[in-house]
Amino acid sequence: MSKSLRRLAIGLSAVLLAGASVTAFTFNIAGIKWPGGSALLYIGMPGSSSSGTSWRDALARAAAQWTSQTPFEFIVNQGYRNPCSGYGATPSGGQFNSGNGDGQNGIDFSATVCGDAYGANTLAVTLIYTESNLLGGFDIVESDIVFNANTRFDIYDGPLVDQSRGIDFGRVALHEMGHVIGMSHEQGSASIMRSTIGNLFTLQPDDIEGATTLYTGYANCPVAAIDFGRVAGGLSEGDCSVKQLVGGGSDDSLVDTYEFTLAQPTSITIGMSSASLDSVLVLMDANSRVLDVDDDGGVGCDAKITKTLAAGTYAVLANTFVDGSACGDTVGSYQLTMSYQSNILLERGQETSLLGSTSSAKFAGGVRARNKLSYSNVVKPSEFFDIEGRIAIDPKHQGQAGFIVVAGILADGQILLRNSAGEFNAYNGQGDISKAKTLVLSALERVDILRDTRASDLGLNDIEVNFLIGYGVNSNPNELYFHGAPINLVVTP
């Protein structure tokens, strides 16, 4: 990854902002930000103001405002780090060398900007080191603040009217910390990120909205739920763009955003295929950290990502790369297929029920081809496979006479119920629900959904079915406890 350095300064001008109002947010963000939405800030610069408040206390209060009112988190450390450590020299032409930085975010007074002259009326400078990321933008990897030691500072709240006390250090620190997290200067709005200092000494709605947009991550775009199986989608004019999603930058390509949750560590494979799009997949964690990006990992212009993930929530972005090729359109339809590989049955969530009763029952299930050791949800038409289910029965139902229900839901919404003979028959929502088995419920019930099945023997070459398993007790036969996340089967050539 290439590293670069940016310098951001606040100018000195006693502009009074009291009474200013805005009717719309006009925050300015460039799209650079900290991956994960947090940074460790060393605030232990020595000394105190003439009013007796230590500089580090003022820094802590400024950091706390950003942390408590925006999605960004400053983790403060009372230790000291030199903000100029690793800073690069200034070559001719006024361009700033990146230097190496030291990987730590320090703060201090300095008579120069680490050897370079301050600009006219400059109170402080934030040095931001960035590295390019997989989305084509930049991540912040280090931010240091240098306060102009040639300026008289004090610490106080309220209007900026008593110039004899010097410039309020706290509001300058609050402004510079906005730069630290990736905020740019504002013009024409009541904002602490104005390029000129004034009466404001706390974060304003414009500041908060800007930081929220920058660090809300993939939730800046509409998010749809996805689970194992297939999803048909399409990119069309008016969809969200990568620029909107990441909160800045210049990538205007369209993107659809999907979110899924894993209850246990799982190896997943996500494929994106399209006849008209050069498919691009992006995998993110819940904090919008990019975990993987793929362009042509599939066949032709299709994309594919395979990754082992810990339990948690993740996002998949369906995007496209415009390259002028036969599959380089900016809009078009696509199909996502999400599969998994696991040595154990996948948990399919806690129960839901037909009539709204609650229980502590838990469900799991999976598909295993005869020639494979692991569970998955994708099989070939020629493969023999089993579909297994498991129900951890609520203790209050254990030992009671009850029944097991098995349902299959086709892509068109048709429901099939399995009877006690192992046959699946159509169910139109009327009449009694077929029972796959009647029994006295034990603590753990294993359910054979399908056994020794081969799709080609049934004349099926390409089909998707979602299975649900549930149970009930004879004392309350109209109530059924089952899981919300289905046990997915995809048969594909």
Residue-wise pLDDT tens digits, 262-308:
999 999 999 999 988 989 999 999 888 889 999 877 778 899 999 99
Average pLDDT over residues 434-461: 96
Does residue 198 sit in the same domain as residue 333? no
Does residue 107 sit in the same domain as residue 184? yes
Residue-wise pLDDT tens digits, 143-201:
999 999 999 999 998 887 666 778 999 999 999 999 999 988 887 678 999 988 889 99
Full residue range of the structural domain in which residue 226 is found: 218-341
Does residue 123 sit in the same domain as residue 103? yes
- For 134, the token pair is 């997989």
Does residue 331 sit in the same domain as residue 385? no
- Domain stops at, among 324, 341, 358: 341
Residues 6+ apart with CB under 8 A from 54: 47, 48
- Domain stops at, among 316, 341, 366: 341
Does residue 264 sit in the same domain as residue 165? no
Q: Which of 352, 471, 449, 482 lies closest to 401, judged by CA?
A: 471
Does residue 132 sit in the same domain as residue 27? yes
pLDDT at 431: 78
Does residue 407 sit in the same domain as residue 435? yes
Number of domains observed in the structure of the chain: 3
| Radius of gyration (C-alpha) of the chain in whole angstroms | 29
CA–CA distance, 26 with 190 (Å, rounded to integer): 9
Cβ–Cβ < 8 Å for 385, 368: yes
Does residue 453 sit in the same domain as residue 334? no
User: Where residue 413 sits, what CATH number does that domain have?
Assistant: 2.70.50
Are β-strands 279-285 and 229-235 bridged in parallel, bridged antiparallel, or unpaired?
Answer: unpaired
Q: Which of 164, 202, 147 lies closest to 14, judged by CA?
A: 164
Q: Which pTM value belongs to this model?
A: 0.76
Does residue 393 sit in the same domain as residue 407? yes
User: Comparing 244 with 445, which gets the higher pLDDT?
Assistant: 445
Q: Which residue has the tokens 């400024």?
A: 62
- Domain stops at, among 215, 237, 265: 215
Residue-wise pLDDT tens digits, 399-427:
999 999 999 999 999 999 999 999 999 99
**DSSP-assigned letters across all residues of 4-68:** EEEEEEEE------TT---SS----B-S-B-TTSEEEEE-----B-TTS-BHHHHHHHHHHHHHH
Does residue 52 sit in the same domain as residue 158? yes
